[in-house]
Structure 1
């Protein structure tokens, strides 16, 4: 029996939908599969750098950065889709987690070090990542059963957004900008950095200010997760919207990792958290097999915190009826300034001096 035109159209529509779903699944899963080898890309970077193979080291660095870069592309593509399904949300969550691979690998390494499990970072990473991938694939496989029942829920995040913004301003004024400014002057020399650091510590390590800052950072982690959750299910997201969400996901883990390293790892062992500690002197970030993971961790972290602030400023401007074209232009200008600032910081951390 020859199928009617309507039946043929239905078949074509079903095949097209299946191919589209398959392509979307590939876009979402591919960065995470690439992320399985993240520890080995870093190890290769360290080995080539030690052997003075500059171009090979740069290629290994590019492969390392390809993990968060491909994840960001995945977040953008998934965020442009017109429909929201449980599988699509699972893929977006996976992409956001993959984007945060640098701080995730750092915090994993610190936890394993504290548990006195040495030399197992890469193996634990692979097992953990395979479990995450399996969980995501299970959601995709069962999507047809639960997809029809899924409903998007609109949350009123306005109060959380305001509180998150107020906490951000407080952190920026009392700690973040002075701290990043301190790191920027390190390009003039370690002694210059230390002199500025000792002055600034009287501010952000004061009796009442330091506990308040810790509480604010913890609040930013929790409130950030609350704000990210509904955006992961959003559709038709622009590039700056995606950058705000992706940078927020990165910073949630980055802040947790940094606080764990400072307040648990360093202070527990009585280590001064100065510039020498942060940059792994005297071997440096590139000269130590463990410290090499801090290069993408810090490099992206500094740039993303400044980009996140710029995107937050854009959100505030849009909420106050500033024309989107002007708000976007100001945001991009702030991102450009943040790029210059973060470049100076990372260059200093890698040993550059003027």
Structure 2
């Protein structure tokens, strides 16, 4: 039986400790743990999916030797979803009336099953790589344009919180006149679902291949965004609007004691921070693919790095009012 490479053991340890990193950050925020240790715990929480992405980039530079190595790469790539997966589990179990112990049980069970599926030894030759019609990639890209309009408006709404929660609510109420029209809302949710399904199919095609860093980051951010969207829609429509019957506005989002001093809400710092950043990077990488086809790879790569400042700036100014409210 082939032993796992040390970096994969490291990732497994980080995934196991992720809920406790969040716990450490929370304890520091309420004065029960040294602030430096608390900030280190937050850095480790952010570092868990980032390490998974870094390791994926390293492992995918060359073709997999066999199905075992390919499966290991799939597990590593799956590691990027940790923050949004933990949030999604929490939202669903909260609606079921279950607490933190149930969350940990489901979280660890998920990763135990993933490890059993992807980390078992299999020395068979590589099976054939799946093929996906080019039309699906085109449809995925076109449908994303519909969402870009909504996402741009939604992010602008969150940026408005830098001028206060009242401003955020005023902008939201104006935008809701459009995107909460029944037909528009059904179209948006349907498009989100198509993005998730088509994204998974495209991911299954490309995940088996060797790829450069750009492609691997596109796969990783796409996978994270899929779980982020699922968690966000479940929280807003399932938990907020249907289960709790509350207005899912700014007051609901930063409900006392806020993101930093609530043992459940603290997970949202990493969930929102990485989710928004991954979404913006994924969109930039999609534009890079289009530009590569029309203007060449060299110019596309240069423009990608020039534009990379944008996700950092937008994410910072979205998170700033959230964590200081």
Which TM-score band applies after superposition, normalised by the shorter structure? over 0.9
Which residue of structure 2 lines up, in the alignment, with residue 133 of structure 1?
115
Any residues of structure 2 matched to 1:147-158 within 5 Å, and which? 147-148=124-125, 150-158=126-134
> Partner of 2:262: helix, strand, or coil?
coil
Any residues of structure 2 matched to 1:203-282 within 5 Å, and which? 203-235=178-210, 237-268=211-242, 269-279=244-254, 281-282=255-256
Where structure 1 has 5 or more consecutive residues not aligned to the other structure, the ranges are: 1-17
Conserved? CA contact 1:157–1:227, under 8 Å: no
In 2, distance between residues paired with 1:22 and 1:73? 21
Which residue of structure 2 lines up, in the alignment, with residue 197 of structure 1?
172
How far did 1:22 drift?
Answer: 5.3
> Partner of 1:291: helix, strand, or coil?
coil
Q: Which runs of 4+ in 1 moved over 6 A?
A: none
In 1, distance between residues paired with 2:77 and 2:239? 26
Q: How many residues align?
A: 322
How far did 1:272 drift?
Answer: 1.0
Where structure 2 has 5 or more consecutive residues not aligned to the other structure, the ranges are: none
Which residue of structure 2 lines up, in the alignment, with residue 41 of structure 1?
21
1:336 and 2:318 matched: no
Conserved? CA contact 1:40–1:122, under 8 Å: no
> Partner of 2:324: helix, strand, or coil?
coil
Which residue of structure 1 lines up, in the alignment, with residue 320 of structure 2?
347
Any residues of structure 2 matched to 1:30-69 within 5 Å, and which? 30-51=10-31, 53-69=34-50
In 1, distance between residues paired with 2:133 and 2:303? 24
Normalising by structure 2, report the TM-score.
0.94
Which residue of structure 2 lines up, in the alignment, with residue 326 of structure 1?
299
How far did 1:135 drift?
Answer: 2.7
Q: 1:295 aligns with which of 249, 258, 269?
A: 269
Conserved? CA contact 2:75–2:119, under 8 Å: no
How far did 1:84 drift?
Answer: 4.7
Any residues of structure 2 matched to 1:25-174 within 5 Å, and which? 25-51=5-31, 53-120=34-101, 121-138=103-120, 141=121, 143-144=122-123, 147-148=124-125, 150-173=126-149
How far did 1:29 drift?
Answer: 4.3
Residue deviations 1:243-291 (CA, integer Å, cap 9, x gap): 1110001011111111111111111121111122223x22111110000
Normalising by structure 1, report the TM-score.
0.86
In 1, distance between residues paired with 2:232 and 2:70? 28
In 2, distance between residues paired with 1:22 and 1:127? 22
In 1, distance between residues paired with 2:6 and 2:279? 29
Q: Which entry has the higher C-alpha Rg, 1 or 2?
A: 1
